[in-house]
Amino acid sequence: MARRPLPRILSNGGAQLARSRELARTAADSATDVLQPLLTIGRGLGRLASAARHRWTETPKDRRGALLFLVASVVLVVALMPYGPLLAAVALMAAAAWHGRDRTPPPPEGPDDTQAKRLSSLYEALVPYFSLAEDPDPLYTHGGSWEKAFPAYEFDDSGRFAHLVVHYPAYFTDGEAAARARIEHLLTAKAGRGREYRFTWDEEANHLTLTVLEPLPTDIAAQRFVTAPGETVLGFTDPGRVQRTLPLTHGEERRDVPPVVWRTGVRSTEPHLLVLGRPGTGTSTLLRSIALQALHHGGDLLIVDGGGTGEYACLTGRDGVLAVECGLTGVLTGLEWAAQETERRLITANRARQEGEPPPEDTRRPLWLLVDRPSAFAHLSGAEGREDPQSLLQVPLRHGRAAHVTVVVADQLDALDTLGDAVRQHTRARVVLGAAGPDELAAALGAAPQTTPVDQVPPGRGYARLGTGPVHRLQVPATPDPYDDATSDAHRRAVLALLPPRTTPADGEHVPDAPDAPALPDVSEVPPAAVADGPAADGAPEPGPATEPVTPVAPKTVPTLAAPDAEEEAERRREKKSVPTLIQP
């Protein structure tokens, strides 16, 4: 069935929504500026009326008559005076304007005492890094003023920095990574640990901007993402870091979230993915999310579970899942088949192009190899003297893009050096999950992130880098194992709803019971000539004495009772699926 096009409000994303909100906000601000005098007078009239009603309520009942007489006298005198009503109206408007003015106290100019102490402390901490003895007019000196050093700053409700601009001298070596790292480490310690910061260096203006990053959403569950075939959502990142948003559903709430999209296929520059992380950081969760998206777009999956914990048992027997291998023999067999399948696809597609025809459909169907912890099989294969499964990934990694074969490898961060050269060279898309130091992130991703990593992160939280692009913060959508007892009901239902229907393999098909065979005749009615003359068939009991009971013969529908050949017997059993012929000993 053809897919219905998405509404423009969903396909164009948050750009139109943001533009509409900006226009509405601008119109509201303009209308407020124009109608500000009327709003002030109306607010003042309301306050005067409230004061008059409060005064009338407080007046004793025995004095209310006199008060009414006094008010009526004043009104009569004003009405009889020349220009009395006009002057009364002007006085009333002036009083309303005075009482309706904005009484909110203006915000204090400059920081308070606590904020000033924090700024002064940070200034003193930066003096050893931003000062030289030869500088005739130093910007940073002990006991100096911090106003010129910090041109802009903001504090949050807790009194910590939310935004800070640091002006540093021109002779500071801001082009050296080590010098930058020292300043960033100092600002992180002074601004408050436990939060993530982004540092933006403006080398032309000699400005360093510190921005506190909001935590990424961790409540996004697995669901159908609005993506095209060949696009895989790895997770979600900060707004403004990518030029695209995805409409998501969270309960009854709908929102647009910027994703990190990994593109695969023949035109992809990063056809394979490497996921690294320590136990419990969400590497298996990311592989399950990728598997569900690949199955949704009609791909075939071969899963290798090196952890042996049954994380992918929910995918066993599903439509599109070729196998889920946990043992060394099955892993070697499956990866060897994947290598041969890659070569077959290349040869078949090449022959079709030489003949001027499009490649066959079976060569264009995506094939995914999800390999979790291949380093776990290295010791087993070495102990048994067998081939390392990583060597079988060389052909799919080198030629997988042209053959529509995608390889996703997940392993522990400490096992990066134990991975094969082919895995490290051909997996240009990288994801690191969990807490990791700057050096570990730089070694795994090829570049250090622009944000400061923290020690405590939720599962599925990390960084992603696609090829030579920038490093993005990443939060993987929650895709837990639905068979795990610790999984919540909402996440379990979300994952089970995305699983394709279960298909039983051909070897496990249930064969219906054969119909009841007719009653076997008495052996005394069988002619002696019908008994087999040759030796007994393999596995048949040796004939006993004449007094022993003999095995019943086949039904009368069988023309002869001669023992058939074993292969013919097995073939006839598979074709007819009926009661096999019984052999007369």
pLDDT tens profile 13-40:
555 666 777 777 777 777 777 777 888 8
Spacing of C-alpha 204 from chain mean position: 37
Worst-scoring range by mean pLDDT, 124-128, 136-140, 471-475, 538-542? 538-542
pLDDT, one tens digit per residue, over 193-212 is: 788 899 999 999 999 999 99
Q: What is each CA distance from 307 to 251, 283, 311, 314, 375, in whole angstroms? A: 33, 11, 8, 15, 10
Which pairing describes strands 259-263 and 231-236: parallel, antiparallel, or unpaired?
antiparallel
Share of the chain above pLDDT 70, in %: 82
Q: Which tokens belong to 170?
A: 């021109």
pLDDT in tens, 365-394: 999 999 999 988 888 888 888 889 999 999
- Residue in 261, 242, 314, 319 with CA at minimum distance from that of residue 285: 314
pLDDT at 511: 40
In the three-class reduction of DSSP (H, G, I as helix; E, B as strand; rest coil), residue 288 is classed as: helix
| Mean pLDDT confidence for 168-183 | 91
Residue 444 has pLDDT above 70, yes or no: yes
Residue 465 has pLDDT above 60, yes or no: yes
**336 vs 404: CA distance, rounded Å:** 17
Q: With a threshold of 0.85, does the pTM exceed it?
A: no
The per-residue pLDDT for 498 is: 94
Alpha-carbon gap, residue 191 to 160, rounded angstroms: 6
Task: Determine the pLDDT at residue 18.
Answer: 65
Q: Is 98 helix (H, G, I), strand (E, B) or coil?
A: helix
Asked if residue 242 has pLDDT above 80, the reply is yes
d(CA 388, CA 391): 6
Statement: residue 319 has pLDDT above 90: yes
Backbone phi, psi, residue 11, to 5°: -75, -40
Backbone dihedral angles phi then psi of residue 433, each to the nearest 5 degrees = -115, 145
- The first and second tokens of residue 565, run together, are 């050949």
211 within 8 A of 186, measured Cβ to Cβ: no
